[in-house]
Structure 1
């Protein structure tokens, strides 16, 4: 009995010390846990708690909806939803705010791709160039909608009575436009709409230039677009104004030939309308080149002059619209096409003006650009 009582005391002591150690250990763990959680922002704890309550299928659905609304990249859409506790309205607003900042950062990057857009009626045609960095974005529905809207806005403006009116982005950028598209928020200035599209597509987007071509007499403005993803859009464009002396001649008589000549302009790349319009500087430069080439043949001076004359004729056929071989029928030239049309309708038809434009022409493309 005495042995049993004495033996119980150390056992009880051991149990007591073990309980104290356990209590200290629990207190230490709890203290460490408190110290760790005290360094974690409450918003992050709440965010983790909230996102765990949103089922994965619902998260996927919200990401899909927001991408449809904004066309923003997947990672940006998801980041905004996470930051906004999966509130799609707040996330859309967050994307727009962040997008403006990102668009500003990307504004210095080369944008040499894009589209031309044309809007026209019988008397006027407006063409604009909207640039982006890749042809992938040029196929984007929002980008194409903006390009078409800019052309329509340009057509609706009142030009200062000029038959050929070129303009830069400053001509339209502060004007308001009503954007009837699910991914836009109604009315906006041209400048803010371009910035918003840049934010959506994640590239530098620039409204580069435009031109309005008009006819003053009885005539028609015809157009042609090459590499055309949808009506009114393309990468290369030709515009031409045909005018007829007799105001009683139906306009429809000019439209078919006008469209063919516009297509010819895209294919043949004329620089001047007539030989008389070839600039003196261009003519002098060409003559010097041709004469140098002829003199190297070692032939007599009289033969050299004839060689220069013949080669100059060939030069005119290459750069002068009226002298060019007609791409639809290379046995004739544009001047003859107009003469034949004049005979058919009983009144003289002339070309007043023409234009050829191509996406990215004149923009220096940086080789090996990494897009950063």
Structure 2
């Protein structure tokens, strides 16, 4: 498969790898982007890629809480300018409130706001404001108490990142601290049990290949038993500590895990949701860096 400058650029932006390393990774994997990411990580040339970093869409995340129920919705727009529009912000607020009684996005689209279905309200706003808008997703949590937090707030209850935390027990202020922690760290799951098995398996394969390669080139190689029984399990434990909420070091007090901090406060974290505007939507580039084109031309 022909490796293009655009592919090299995308891989560099995703992994932080150097230009030539990115090109070699794509060549070695016949242009498979995911395999190229793993190849770079195996060689120790990139960190775990987060697709959520590739943000393009604008808009706002709106949150609403009613007792033990909380919702977050994402309404996208074409430009950030629209996100500052008072009419757009009111629409986001109305949709978030309507989402409290909706089961999912499709149900939300037919729920009523100001006497008309949400889908019609959005179409009306498109006609008035003059930009395309998309109700992309919603998330809901329930517990004894639900706490919300909005990062980079554009108005009360809405901003670029919305977080919901459902707790068992009575909140004494720890809920907002946990929500702020989630906004900052973007954990992949609540705990190991709720982590996507495919993500766990992929990480195991990467860490195994990386450990074996490092050992093969070491001046003092370790017995393979040590690699499989100690080094790889140790790296997987670290992966879980960094990527599962309950095992992460609490940003407010790094001496504690989030789970321990919650326990000390007399609550249990049941569930959480974190939505960031545009996460997972790849950015469309109109042109490419001259250095990339030059490198590809000279290849």
Distance 1:279 1:129, change over 3 A: closer
> Once the two structures are superposed, what CA deviation does each residue of 1:252-284 show, in whole Å capped at 9, x if it has no partner?
xx1410111111111111112122333433222
Residue in structure 1 matching 2:118, options 170, 175, 190: 190
How far is the alpha carbon of 1:193 from its aligned partner? Answer: 1.4
The answer as to 2:255 corresponding to 1:313 is: no
Q: Which residue of 1 aligns with 2:276?
A: 358
> Once the two structures are superposed, what CA deviation does each residue of 1:189-222 show, in whole Å capped at 9, x if it has no partner?
322211121122211112222122212xxx2111
Q: Are the counterparts in 1 of residues 59 and 74 from structure 2 also a CA contact under 8 Å?
A: yes
Q: Which has the higher contact order (CA 8 A, sep 6+)?
A: 2
Q: Structure 1 or 2: larger helix share?
A: 1
TM-score, scaled relative to structure 2: 0.71
Q: Which residue of 2 aligns with 1:325?
A: 249
Question: In the TM superposition, what are the counterparts of 1:180-329 in structure 2 within 5 Å?
Answer: 187-215=115-143, 219-244=144-169, 251=170, 254-296=171-213, 297-298=215-216, 299-305=222-228, 306-329=230-253
How far is the alpha carbon of 1:337 from its aligned partner? Answer: 0.3
Give the whole-Å Cα distance in 2 for the aligned partners of 1:205 and 1:277.
32
In the comparison of the two structures, how many residue pairs are matched?
A: 226
Structure showing greater Rg: 1
RMSD: 2.0
How far is the alpha carbon of 1:175 from its aligned partner? Answer: 3.2
Give the whole-Å Cα distance in 1 for the aligned partners of 2:138 and 2:196.
24
Give the whole-Å Cα distance in 1 for the aligned partners of 2:203 and 2:183.
23
Q: Are the counterparts in 2 of residues 222 and 255 from structure 1 also a CA contact under 8 Å?
A: no
Q: Which residue of 2 aligns with 1:12?
A: none
Give the whole-Å Cα distance in 1 for the aligned partners of 2:80 and 2:97.
22
The answer as to 2:292 corresponding to 1:367 is: no
The answer as to 2:177 corresponding to 1:177 is: no
TM-score, scaled relative to structure 1: 0.57
Runs of 5+ consecutive residues of structure 1 not aligned to the other structure: 1-110, 160-166, 179-186, 245-250, 343-348
